[in-house]
Amino acid sequence: MGCIQRCGMFMSNLETALQGAAEDGIITETQAQTLFSYLGQRLAAAEPTAGGEQLLAKRQGDAANPLEDSEAPRFVRGFHDILITIGIIVALLGFGGVGSVYATLPAIIIFAEIFVRRQRLALPAVALTVATVLWIGASVMLLTTDPSLGLEQRYIHPYPSLGAFLLLVPFPPLLALFHWRYRVPIALAALLISLFLVFLAGVLAFMAPAAGWHDATGSIRYQTVSIFFVCVIFMFAVAMSFDLRDRERVTRSSDVAFWMHLATAPALLYGTVLLCFLLLGVTTNDVDNYTGPAVVVAIVLVMMAIGLIIDRRAFVTSGLLSLGVALSAILQYSNMRMDGLLSAELVTIGIFVLLIGMSWLPLRRAIVGRLPLGLQAKLPALR
């Protein structure tokens, strides 16, 4: 047992060292992953009775376990990460309560230097990135609502689109600085998403007045939804570019894609629903037909098929709320009694999700196996 523990500790330290070398430009990230995999195989061959294959299967996609989830990013390497993360969250809440939102920034920086840059802990890195995003948002809100500056009265209230643009502008440069310093995948994903949001807000703020829209965000209009849909398509394309770089999902590109898909999936779903509703002339007041719910169910099923093809479950979970609303409407149109409506809806969605979850791998093989071989070679490997 002592040998196994020493082996696991050695490989963990080796992975951290190789990641640091890649970040410092000594070697490339691909070389670091290849070298780590090579040393892991040699060590496992030297200790065949020590269970080395199980110990060394961190993110290489161990073929010995066909049910391993290739989608999971590196969240936790042990309960130590969870304990440190709890301490960080509690301390930041305390700093915010004792001082102000500005007082939490030095604490975020100190914690990030210790637990992210030095110790390379995964879960604390995620928590500190989220804390940074929340700090930027809270700070911007305080600045814009400051009566001495007058930004809220001058820009936010009269021009909501311009106000949204001003609120979003600080995010990309600050997140770029955070990612440059700490190289956290979720920070890069947040940076890219913030760039898309700034672009969208800028288009609505500056192009809408030129096109004669008094307030592009004040009502659901075809132009606004179309611009939003195009931006979401670009976000999805960028996320897929990271996915296609790492078919085996062993590098940080896969982690960046995971976080981007997590944000892109619901945006793509609701953007598609709104666009289809506008094109078909469906409104929320149409309660006498099945058109709206049928459109929602069809789009959710398409999104789930996309999730199966690219092996991303975010496209399944993002549609659950919409699926529930659509099923509720369908059941109401069917004159089901209200006391049994919620129960029937929950049972239907629960069974559907369980079936998708249990049959994820067979469904992927059935769908992806029918695609052209050239496309299959680019998608995540079938397991």
Instruction: Give residue-wise pLDDT tens across range 157-182.
Output: 656 677 778 889 999 999 999 999 99
For residue 41, name the pLDDT band (cuts at 50, 70, 90): low
Residue 383 has pLDDT above 50, yes or no: yes
Q: What is the mean pLDDT of residues 314-339?
A: 68
Could you give the CA distance from residue 250 to residue 61 in angstroms, rounded to a whole number? 7
Could you give the CA distance from residue 292 to residue 280 in angstroms, rounded to a whole number? 9
Could you give the CA distance from residue 172 to residue 291 in angstroms, rounded to a whole number? 40
Query: pLDDT at position 375, please?
Result: 84
Tens of pLDDT, residues 119-140: 888 889 999 999 999 999 988 8
Could you give the CA distance from residue 140 to residue 127 in angstroms, rounded to a whole number? 20
Cβ neighbour number for residue 158 with a 10 Å cutoff: 11
Query: pLDDT at position 125, please?
Result: 92
Q: What is the mean pLDDT of residues 34-56?
A: 54
Query: pLDDT at position 48, please?
Result: 43
Could you give the CA distance from residue 82 to residue 86 in angstroms, rounded to a whole number? 6
More confident residue, 128 or 335: 128
Contacts of 333 (CB under 8 A, 6+ apart): 287, 289, 290, 293
Could you give the CA distance from residue 232 to residue 132 in angstroms, rounded to a whole number? 24
Tokens of 52: 């080395």
Report yes or no: 74 and 255 within 8 Å, Cβ to Cβ.
Answer: yes
Contacts of 259 (CB under 8 A, 6+ apart): 73, 185, 186, 189, 190
Q: Which residues of 352-367 are buried (b: 16+ CB within 10 A; e: fewer)?
A: eeeebeeebeebbeee
Q: What percent of the chain has pLDDT above 70?
A: 66
Query: pLDDT at position 313, please?
Result: 85
Could you give the CA distance from residue 114 to residue 226 in angstroms, rounded to a whole number? 44
Does residue 374 sit in helix, strand or coil? helix
Could you give the CA distance from residue 261 to residue 337 in angstroms, rounded to a whole number? 38
Nearest one of 147, 119, 95 to 17, comparing CA atoms: 119
Q: How wide is the angle at C-alpha 113 spanned by C-alphas 111 and 114, nearest 5°? A: 65
Report yes or no: 83 and 115 within 8 Å, Cβ to Cβ.
Answer: no
For residue 352, name the pLDDT band (cuts at 50, 70, 90): confident
Report yes or no: 107 and 99 within 8 Å, Cβ to Cβ.
Answer: no
Residue 190 has pLDDT above 80, yes or no: yes
Instruction: Return the top range by mean pLDDT from 15-19, 27-31, 235-239.
Output: 235-239
Tens of pLDDT, residues 192-234: 999 999 998 888 877 766 655 555 454 557 778 888 899 999 9
- Specify the residue for token string 């990460």: 81
pTM confidence score:
0.74
Contacts of 44 (CB under 8 A, 6+ apart): 52, 53, 56
Which range is least confidently modeled, 58-67, 122-131, 256-265? 58-67
Instruction: Return the top range by mean pLDDT from 31-45, 80-94, 97-111.
Output: 80-94
For residue 56, name the pLDDT band (cuts at 50, 70, 90): very low
Q: What is the mean pLDDT of residues 8-17?
A: 64
Backbone angles phi, psi at 74, to 5 degrees: -80, 95
Q: What is the mean pLDDT of residues 83-93?
A: 91
